[in-house]
């Protein structure tokens, strides 16, 4: 199952130990890591990205679930981004891209108190015990949430509703006086711009989703191959 994983530690060294432990679990096939970052929450509530898994299977974090969640963690105070991160600030603040509920974001913000550090990762895992055992042994507090897929039908219904309004306004334009016609045409133009923006966002979401799925399939294949080699080597080991 594809999940968002957030593990909160008291300091950076522990967070990096947690990152190493997660990577070891990936090597033995217990999890697949799709994206990851180490984030520090400062005293003023802002967040700084201390480490980004780049280049990773999904490239930069911009537009990914991890990137969006980190942007939401930073909140209105802001987010400090490393010069080598390759991320656009505007791409981060999107609850749809985070693919988790607002309640999960609230839990993360509450747990990731000022001056604490978090390992944030999008992972594929079949059971939770390996990650929980490894992280809890390092003093980490584990939060996770299964990632939902944005329902394309919802976005299509929103666009259809706006198109219906456009059609109604256009109908009224033909019957209105000059002053009213100008106001109606302005509403038509505004709605058309919104429709185009939504359609563009749908395409971006589809492209990002397809990229995530392709990257996930590649990672799972690599993990399966690695696990197979480990089993063969173990079989050769004398008892």
Poorest-pLDDT segment among 42-56, 86-100, 162-176: 86-100
Residue 85 has pLDDT above 50, yes or no: no
Residue 155 has pLDDT above 80, yes or no: no
What is the Rg, in whole angstroms, of the alpha carbon atoms belonging to the chain?
23
- Could you count the other beta carbons within 10 Å of the beta carbon of residue 118? 28
pLDDT tens digits for range 47-65: 888 876 644 443 456 557 7
Look at residue 168 and give its three-state secondary structure: helix
Its sign, for the CA torsion 17, 22, 26, 32, is negative
Which residues fall within 8 angstroms of residue 35, CB to CB, at 6 or more apart?
A: 53, 56, 57, 58, 61, 64, 65, 66, 67, 121, 122
pLDDT tens digits for range 178-216: 888 888 888 889 889 988 888 887 787 777 767 766 776
CB-CB contact of 41 with 117 (8 Å) = yes
Q: What is the dihedral of CA 38, 81, 101, 109, to 10 degrees?
A: 70
pLDDT score, position 23: 93
DSSP 8-state assignment for residue 76: G
Note if the pTM is more than 0.75.
Answer: no
Quote the mean pLDDT of the chain: 77
């Amino acid at each position: 199952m594809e999940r968002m994983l957030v593990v909160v530690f008291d300091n950076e060294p522990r967070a990096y130990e947690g990152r190493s432990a997660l990577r070891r679990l990936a090597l033995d096939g217990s999890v697949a890591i799709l994206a990851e970052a180490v984030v520090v929450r400062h005293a003023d509530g802002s967040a700084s990205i201390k480490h980004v898994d780049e280049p990773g299977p999904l490239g930069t974090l911009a537009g990914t679930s991890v990137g969006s969640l980190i942007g939401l963690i930073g909140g209105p105070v802001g987010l400090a981004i490393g010069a080598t991160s390759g991320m656009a600030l505007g791409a981060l603040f999107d609850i749809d891209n985070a693919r988790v509920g607002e309640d999960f974001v609230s839990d993360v913000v509450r747990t990731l108190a000022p001056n604490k550090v978090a390992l944030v990762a999008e992972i594929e895992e079949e059971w939770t015990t390996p990650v929980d055992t490894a992280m809890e042994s390092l003093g980490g507090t584990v939060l996770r949430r299964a990632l939902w897929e944005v329902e394309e039908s919802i976005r299509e219904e929103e666009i259809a509703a706006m198109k219906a309004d456009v059609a109604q306004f256009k109908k009224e334009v033909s019957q209105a006086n000059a002053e009213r016609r100008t106001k109606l045409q302005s509403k038509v133009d505004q709605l058309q711009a919104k429709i185009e923006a939504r359609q563009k966002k749908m395409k971006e979401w589809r492209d990002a989703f397809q990229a995530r799925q392709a990257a996930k399939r590649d990672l799972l294949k690599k993990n399966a191959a690695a696990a197979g080699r480990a089993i063969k080597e173990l079989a050769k080991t004398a008892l």
